Amino acid sequence: MKFLILALGNIGPEYADTRHNIGFMVADYLAAKHEARFEIGRHAFVTEIKAKGKTYVLVKPTTYMNLSGKAAAHYLSSLKLEKEQLLVVTDDLALPYGKLRLKGKGSAGGHNGLKSIQETIGSDEYARLRFGVDANFPKGRQVDYVLNPFSADEQIDLPLHIEKAADAVLAFGALGIERAMNIVNVK
């Protein structure tokens, strides 16, 4: 069984360690752990890993966040996968820092990357793993907040949170969305 893991973020060194790039960080962790290397593909950097008999195609869009749907549509089509085999990994301001929330469907919640995916694939019925980045910013400063690095205090636990998110990605494929949600969302 094959799964498409669409890890959201923005390309370029100025975005590398920002909150908005947590999806890229999780994909990079999985690739490194499985000794896989990303290669440039259409609309994205792409690699493939195998774990517990499942194949995970890790995709980091090169379209910037607001056009992430292009990569989602292309790889769903070219890999001949159904929406049920798609998991999007993204940041979430509505969750406390490091909190994970796995859902099988839902609204974009104001997230431009999710909005692009929903508009492009014509559905909100795809799984998403939301990684809490908190909402610790003054009113009207949301963009600055997500496009800045994690604080020094947050960076202490960041590797552990990334590892837990990577485990949640693998659980999605190995156990299915319902069982994985029961594990990920109760922690």
Catalytic residues, by residue number, are: 20
Both tokens assigned to 100: 């994970």
Sign of the C-alpha dihedral, residues 19, 111, 37, 33? positive
Buried residues in 73-102 as b, exposed as e (16+ CB within 10 A):
bbbbeeeebebebbbbbbbbbebebbbbbb
- Beta strands (DSSP E) in 24-79 are 39-41, 44-51, 54-61
Distance CA(112)–CA(35), nearest Å, equals 31
Buried residues in 14-44 as b, exposed as e (16+ CB within 10 A):
ebeebbbbbbbbbbbbbbeebebebeebebb
